[in-house]
Amino acid sequence: MFRQFSRGRWLVLVLLLSGLAACQSERDHVLVVYSAGPRPLIDEVVAAFEAANPIEIEMFAATTGQVMARLEAEKYRPRADVVILASELGAAGLKQDGRLRHYRPDAIEQTREDWHDPDGHYHATGAAIVAMAFRGDAAPPPDWAAALDGQWPGRLTMPSPSRSGSAADFMIAFNLDRGESAWAQWQRARSRAGLEFSAANNQAITSLMLDAYDGMLAAADYLIYRQIDRGADLTVHYPDDGSVLVTRPIAILESSAQGEWAERFVDHYFSVAMQEAVARQFLVPARIDVDVADIRPAGLPESLIQFDIDQALKKQLSVLRRFQLQIERAQVVRE
82 and 134, same domain (yes or no): no
Contact 244, 170 (CB under 8 A): yes
Distance between CA atoms of residues 229 and 255, nearest Å: 40
197 and 266, same domain (yes or no): no
Question: Region 27-39: what's the mean pLDDT?
Answer: 88
Examine residue 170 and state whether it is found in any structural domain, yes or no: yes
317 and 188, same domain (yes or no): yes
pLDDT at residue 13 greater than cutoff 70 = no
CB neighbourhood size of 289 (10 A): 10
233 and 250, same domain (yes or no): no
What does DSSP assign to residue 176?
H
Q: Which residues of 65-80 are buried (b: 16+ CB within 10 A; e: fewer)?
A: bbbbebbeeeeeeebb
Question: Region 163-176: what's the mean pLDDT?
Answer: 92
87 and 176, same domain (yes or no): no
200 and 310, same domain (yes or no): yes
With cut-offs at 50, 70 and 90, classify the pLDDT of residue 22.
very low
pLDDT, tens only, 123-152? 999 999 999 999 987 889 999 999 999 999
25 and 100, same domain (yes or no): yes
Return the pLDDT at 246. Answer: 95
pLDDT, tens only, 185-217? 999 999 999 999 998 889 999 999 999 999 999
| CA-wise closest residue to 320 among 89, 127, 94, 99 | 89
241 and 265, same domain (yes or no): no
CB neighbourhood size of 334 (10 A): 9
Q: Which residues of 149-161 are buried (b: 16+ CB within 10 A; e: fewer)?
A: bbebebbbbbbbb
133 and 115, same domain (yes or no): no
pLDDT, tens only, 290-319? 999 999 999 999 999 999 999 999 999 999
146 and 261, same domain (yes or no): no
Examine residue 290 and state whether it is found in any structural domain, yes or no: no
Examine residue 63 and state whether it is found in any structural domain, yes or no: yes
Examine residue 292 and state whether it is found in any structural domain, yes or no: no
Number of residues that this document lists for the chain? 335
Between 78 and 334, the more confident residue is: 78
CATH number, domain with residue 144: 3.40.190.10
> How many domains is the chain built from?
2
Residues of the domain holding 178: 128-245+301-328
Examine residue 316 and state whether it is found in any structural domain, yes or no: yes
Contact 83, 99 (CB under 8 A): no
pLDDT, tens only, 235-258? 999 999 999 999 999 999 999 999
Between 20 and 327, the more confident residue is: 327
- Give the mean pLDDT of the chain: 91
Return the pLDDT at 27. Answer: 52
Distance between CA atoms of residues 14 and 30, nearest Å: 25
pLDDT at residue 111 greater than cutoff 60 = yes
With cut-offs at 50, 70 and 90, classify the pLDDT of residue 10.
low
Examine residue 259 and state whether it is found in any structural domain, yes or no: yes
88 and 116, same domain (yes or no): yes
Contact 158, 300 (CB under 8 A): no
pLDDT at residue 5 greater than cutoff 70 = no
Contact 107, 267 (CB under 8 A): yes
Contact 134, 214 (CB under 8 A): yes
| CA-wise closest residue to 242 among 132, 154, 165 | 132
Examine residue 291 and state whether it is found in any structural domain, yes or no: no
Distance between CA atoms of residues 142 and 170, nearest Å: 18
27 and 108, same domain (yes or no): yes
Return the pLDDT at 272. Answer: 98
Examine residue 293 and state whether it is found in any structural domain, yes or no: no
Residues 6+ apart with CB under 8 A from 221: 128, 129, 130, 131, 133, 236, 282, 296
What does DSSP assign to residue 6?
P
Residues paired with residue 250 on neighbouring β-strands, in sequence order: 84, 123
- Cα dihedral sign for 26, 29, 34, 37? negative
Distance between CA atoms of residues 179 and 234, nearest Å: 31
- Cα dihedral sign for 179, 184, 190, 193? negative
